Amino acid sequence: MKKRTIILSILLLFQFLVHGQEYTESEEFILTKYDTSLFEKMFSSSEEFNGNTQIYITDSIGNKLKEIEVFIETYENDSKVEEFITTDFKNINKIIRVVISQCACYCDTSKYYFFVTNNKKLIELPTIEEEDYEFEMKTIDYVFNAESDTIELTEFQDEMIKENDNPTFKLKSKNVLKKYKWNGNELNEK
């Protein structure tokens, strides 16, 4: 758990420093929790249950907006909906994201991003799937450029520098994997 907390802290700090986009916990959107009694059901021999369950992104009155499947043994019911208020993109009020980490020995991470239009419509961006950061010291994330109405799916490669038994991490390279264009109504791959 401590290892996972350290890794997630590094990733979140990295995202803020590299992208300059500060997200705060949303008051408008909520991520539901799964029922912890499902653990008993999973280990009970009398009921068939594969360990997968659903959590949901909901609005403040409880309408389910997005279903996300998690495995209860590796997901700790600890994610939240974060938002970044922006008026720079045409017809966009804010960007919301949910980062789901599922950790056994290593953590696999899924990142869900949505544009929230001025009339409250959700526009889902393709989900980002990442393997544990420790494997290759890579992260993948969206970089939003409102000046050109583009969104770049970018891979960031870090390197570890060992000095005096205190390793530090620095950005080694970045590579744009895909580009998307926002036209005010829909997202299109460039």
In a domain, 186, yes or no: no
In a domain, 144, yes or no: no
Rounded CA-CA distance 121/26 in Å is 16
pLDDT of res. 17: 41
pLDDT of res. 74: 86
pLDDT of res. 178: 96
Cβ–Cβ < 8 Å for 82, 26: yes
In a domain, 18, yes or no: yes
In a domain, 31, yes or no: yes
Q: What is the pLDDT along the chain (190 residues), one digit of tens a residue?
A: 444 444 444 444 444 444 556 899 999 999 998 887 776 766 665 667 777 888 999 998 999 999 999 988 888 888 999 998 877 899 999 999 999 999 888 888 999 999 999 998 999 999 999 988 877 889 999 999 988 999 999 999 999 888 888 888 889 999 999 999 999 999 999 8
In a domain, 23, yes or no: yes
pLDDT of res. 46: 61
In a domain, 8, yes or no: yes
In a domain, 151, yes or no: no
pTM: 0.81
pLDDT of res. 131: 86
In a domain, 160, yes or no: no
Give the range of the structural domain holding residue 96, as residue numbers without chain letter: 2-135
User: Cα–Cα distances in Å, from 153 out to 27, 46, 80, 97, 98?
Assistant: 27, 45, 22, 14, 16
Q: Which two tokens stand for residue 141?
A: 């994330």
Rounded CA-CA distance 175/184 in Å is 26
Counted domains in the chain? 1
Dump pLDDT digits (tens) for 8-34. 444 444 444 445 568 999 999 999 988
